[in-house]
Chain A
Amino acid sequence: MSAGHTRKPLGGTLWRTLFVVGAGALFSVALGAFIRPDAVSALKAKVRYPLQVIYAELIGFISPGPRYVSYPILVKLKELGVDAGIIIALISSHVLIEPSTSLMEAGFFGYRFPVKRFLVSLILVFLAVMFTKLLVDCFGWRLL
């Protein structure tokens, strides 16, 4: 394999990734200026935990963009005191199912495939988060 063959995709991928991650970091920092920690606490107090997980999953599923773009926003949420389970729900569901990939899957395998994948992903992430919550609450395990 020639050096040029390696350099071209590396350069393209690197600049595209840095561009989108940089833009994502700027956006999350700008957005963070408007989010008050007391508002996050109030939301956590008002919405019961299993429902918070479902919300986080659905937000993750409909969030667009490549996987790296969500990290700056997740860091901001972590700083605001959002727990490990919700971070796991957002990080996992962001890539497991996307509207665009669902359409692609429906085209390749028929509509039943993405319907079942959506249900499977919803259950899987929910179980993962509840298991994490159990570890953190009952055994005092600090993940973040």
Chain B
Amino acid sequence: MRRLPSEVRVGIFLLVATGVLAIISPEKVAQSLSENLGMIVKILLLSIVAVLISVAIHYLVPPDFAEAHLRGNRLRYLVYATLLGILTPGPVYAVYPVVLALKNKGVQNPILVSYITGQTIIGPARVPLEVGLFGIDFFAYRVVLAVLLGPLAGLLYILFSKWLPDKV
């Protein structure tokens, strides 16, 4: 039997958990659902925009874009890696083949850490959801934080590597 995608499995688990809550207190859950129907619809609409942005970037940015810009091991590459990570769409699993390819080309681990941090912490597909749900100020602040945290992640990794060096 073909294995279900991880998102579908998580979705089924959440639906079952919702069902359990509805059995425990049907009145409370029904009231909460009717009060929050508008929010659910808003989240679904914003999710459609998020997927469209993600797919568009997937086709616009060549797969070897990060690889082409991170050959070298200078400290300033921590910043480049973070920015490239932020621009790389897709789930985190999809980015590991890129990370592995970079590693095989000699890119050092602190740069990879900055890249992973940038890719995971924010991304273009989050724009509609975060702006729609939390406002433009919140999203802009998160972008600024991501740009600062990515290089810092690489620097902290270098620091920790003095105590726990990478396997050679």
Contact = CB atoms under 8 A, between A and B. Distances in A.
Interface of A: 1, 6, 9-10, 13-14, 16-27, 29-34, 64-69, 71-72, 74-75, 78, 84, 87-88, 91-92, 95-96, 98, 101, 104-105, 108-110, 112-113, 115-117, 119-121, 123-124, 127-128, 131-132, 142-144
Interface stretch (B33-41, B61-69, B70-78): B33-41
Chain B at the A interface: SS class: helix
Given A1-B59, A22-B44, 16 more contacts: A10-B55, A14-B48, A16-B11, A17-B7, A20-B7, A20-B8, A20-B10, A27-B15, A29-B36, A30-B33, A65-B6, A66-B6, A117-B157, A124-B149, A124-B153, A143-B137
A66 B91 contact: yes
A3 B72 CA distance: 37
Contacts of A109: 103, 109, 166-167
Contacts of A25: 39-40, 43-44
Interface string B128-151: 010001110110011001000100
A18 B45 CA distance: 9
A13 B51 contact: yes
19 contacts: A17-B47, A17-B51, A20-B8, A20-B14, A23-B11, A24-B11, A29-B33, A30-B29, A66-B10, A69-B10, A72-B40, A84-B138, A104-B93, A108-B96, A116-B113, A117-B157, A119-B160, A121-B153, A124-B117
Interface string B93-129: 1001001100100000100010011001100001001
Contacts, number: 189
A132 B148 CA distance: 13
Please classify how large the interface on chain B is, using the bins under 10, 10 to 19, 20 to 34, 35 or more. Answer: 35 or more
B10 A87 contact: no
Contact of B120 (A72, A96, A132): A96
A31 B17 CA distance: 9
Contact of A95 (B59, B120, B156): B120
A142 to B, nearest CB: 8
Main DSSP-derived SS at the A contact region: helix
Contacts of A113: 109, 166
B160 A75 contact: no
A144 B138 contact: yes
* A-B residue pairs, 8 tightest by C-beta: A33-B32, A23-B14, A23-B11, A65-B10, A20-B11, A33-B28, A95-B120, A30-B21
